[in-house]
A and B are shown apart, each in its own frame.
Chain A
Amino acid sequence: MIKFINVSKTYKPDTVGVKNINLHIRPGEFVSIVGQSGTGKTTLAKLIIAELKPDKGRIIIGGWDITQIKPQEIPGLRRQIGVVYQDFKLLQKKTVFENVAFALEVCGEGIKKINTIVPQVLKIVGLENKTDRFPRQISGGEQQRVVIARSLVHRPKILLADEPTGNLDSINAYDIINLLKKINKFGTTVVLVTHNREIVNALRKRVITIDHGMIISDQESGKYIL
């Protein structure tokens, strides 16, 4: 599903983002990418959604070589990858329903489709009773659920979650992780980028550890080793 072949990315002037990354994530996997802050986890995530382009190597997503992706092709890629961030990125002036619907609107979907899909994904994340609330009227955990719901509207093959629990207390964090596991069960490949030791250890899924831009360990059913 996701293949990195000898990928390197350096930020100007000479900060290493990632170096010589070789990685293969299979369809339907749940993979945690761990490491301390500033070790290149987010760079990896940005490379997957083509927000950054690698200096060296090739990146293949679902059989599609996105190393030299054209700007007009990026929207197509992003519709196949759901993205969840630590800082939610919700529009404060829109309700829960509108925030999720927005992702479909901007892609030109019709009202009928929006009215079918949005309630469905809101039900998956357990927010079917809070569709008319504004982000400030719901908790952090619920806001993150909205973000996950929004990332699901395009029925993505991959869900990329970059520190989704970073702003949440542990109970809410576990809720979100359980939600990600549920989505993974539907067949979606989940890539979880995190530095939360407890969560990674509790998951018992594949763990890839990054340090100084390089993969230092890749274990099936691994633990947080740093």
Chain B
Amino acid sequence: MILLSTYRAIKLAFQNFYRNIWLSLATVLILVLTIFLVSLLFGVKIVADKTIDSVKENVDVSIYFEPDAPDNEILAIKENLENKPEVRELNYISKSQALENFKEKNKDNPTILESLEAIGENPLGATITIKARKLEDYQTILKSLDDEKYKGIIQDKDEDYESNQSVIQKLTDVTNKVNRVGLILGIVFSFVAILVVFNTIRITIYTHREEIGIMKLVGASNSFVRAPFIFESILYGILASLICLLILYSLINTISPFLNKFFEGYSLDIVSYFNSQFWKVAALQMVFSVFLSMVSSAIAIGKYLKV
């Protein structure tokens, strides 16, 4: 009996939907806009976070040693650095390895190789590349290498992390601003969506007042009178989230070449990231849109459907 009643309520919900097709479509459209906006907001946040992460990932400092620095001193520094809690990753290139790399890199350039022969000895020094756990840690690490005793061993330190730091700072600022504006817009749109669904259900109740009156007259239970309107709002939510999903993913796949180009050189594939998160995005959108639409229809039913 419950199954049969549910079936009948759902049938009525579908009837309500297509007998007022334009109103229903307008409602769905507003819901789509809202969910799309909120999704876009999350999308921008994810892209920005990923960008910042990958910029951070690309930051490192290199320490170049004098070619004649003794190996044991270099290894001592290496060990010292490795033991620092701030150091996340350390890459050591020995003198001979550096030479190999250099030769490999210039194997098509006989002039360079010949001049290297002419020098007779290895003119290159060892290098240590460090990635810190946090951006602020670079300062501390580099300071520890400023010690007097390292003079004559360390030839140079590249400190280009500072320019990276300002890029990251700018990105963070922009993201924060976008998030704030987006949050406000999202709230405004959610509010508008609630109002629109509310009004639609109100109008549906109004157009069906005769039927509702008869239902009550012949002894339909209160839940049976209410159920079609709840189902109708669920229908709006599901439909809106499906349309939004379609738009969102066609958009992502259309602009994917541009996105990939933009993020060239970073270990970041936004498109495949979004594709891998498809089900999560779909579920979240559906939950959000059904929630929005059910809340507003519940308010409308409570207010206008006196049973």
A interface list, Cβ under 8 A from B? 49, 71-72, 74-79, 83, 89, 91, 102-103, 105-108, 110, 150-151, 153-154
| Interface residues on chain B, size class | 20 to 34
Tell me if B158 is interfacial: C-beta within 8 Å of chain A: no
**Which residues in A have their C-beta under 8 angstroms from that of B307?**
71, 74
**Which residues in B have their C-beta under 8 angstroms from that of A110?**
1, 4
Expressed in whole angstroms, the Cα–Cα distance for A108 and B5 within the complex equals 5
Given contacts A71-B222, A91-B211, A110-B1, contact A105 B8 (CB under 8 A): yes
A-B contact sample (15 more), CB < 8 A, given A78-B219, A154-B218: A49-B217, A72-B221, A72-B222, A74-B216, A75-B220, A78-B217, A78-B218, A89-B217, A91-B210, A91-B211, A106-B219, A106-B224, A108-B5, A108-B221, A154-B219
Cross-interface CB contact of B219 among A71, A76, A89, A91, cutoff 8 Å? A76
Expressed in whole angstroms, the Cα–Cα distance for A64 and B169 within the complex equals 75
Q: How far is the CB of B298 from chain A (nearest CB, A)?
A: 17
Expressed in whole angstroms, the Cα–Cα distance for A153 and B218 within the complex equals 9
Tell me if B21 is interfacial: C-beta within 8 Å of chain A: no
**Which residues in A have their C-beta under 8 angstroms from that of B224?**
106-108
Tell me if B152 is interfacial: C-beta within 8 Å of chain A: no
Cross-interface CB contact of A102 among B1, B2, B214, B221, cutoff 8 Å? B214
Asked whether, in the complex, the Cβ of A107 is within 8 Å of the Cβ of B219, the reply is yes
Interface positions, chain B 197-230, Cβ under 8 Å from A, are: 210-211, 213-222, 224-225
* CB nearest neighbor in B for A49: B217
**Which residues in B have their C-beta under 8 angstroms from that of A106?**
8, 215, 218-220, 224-225
Asked whether, in the complex, the Cβ of B222 is within 8 Å of the Cβ of A108, the reply is no
Cross-interface CB contact of A103 among B2, B210, B218, B222, cutoff 8 Å? B218
Asked whether, in the complex, the Cβ of B1 is within 8 Å of the Cβ of A75, the reply is no
* CB nearest neighbor in B for A153: B218
Q: What number of residue pairs across chains A and B have CB atoms under 8 A from each other?
A: 60
**Which residues in A have their C-beta under 8 angstroms from that of B219?**
75-79, 103, 106-107, 154
Q: How far is the CB of A46 from chain B (nearest CB, A)?
A: 11
**Which residues in A have their C-beta under 8 angstroms from that of B5?**
108
Cross-interface CB contact of B221 among A75, A83, A103, cutoff 8 Å? A75
**Which residues in A have their C-beta under 8 angstroms from that of B225?**
106
* CB nearest neighbor in A for B306: A71
Q: How far is the CB of B17 from chain A (nearest CB, A)?
A: 15
* 14 A/B residue pairs, CB under 8 Å, sorted by A: A49-B217, A71-B307, A75-B220, A76-B219, A78-B217, A89-B213, A89-B217, A106-B215, A106-B220, A107-B221, A108-B2, A108-B221, A110-B4, A154-B218
**Which residues in B have their C-beta under 8 angstroms from that of A83?**
217
**Which residues in A have their C-beta under 8 angstroms from that of B8?**
105-106
* CB nearest neighbor in B for A89: B214
* CB nearest neighbor in A for B223: A72
Interface centre among A76, A78, A106, A154, by most chain B C-beta atoms within 10 angstroms, is: A106
Expressed in whole angstroms, the Cα–Cα distance for A71 and B222 within the complex equals 8
Expressed in whole angstroms, the Cα–Cα distance for A83 and B215 within the complex equals 12
**Which residues in B have their C-beta under 8 angstroms from that of A150?**
218
**Which residues in A have their C-beta under 8 angstroms from that of B210?**
89, 91
Q: How far is the CB of B301 from chain A (nearest CB, A)?
A: 14
Asked whether, in the complex, the Cβ of B1 is within 8 Å of the Cβ of A108, the reply is yes
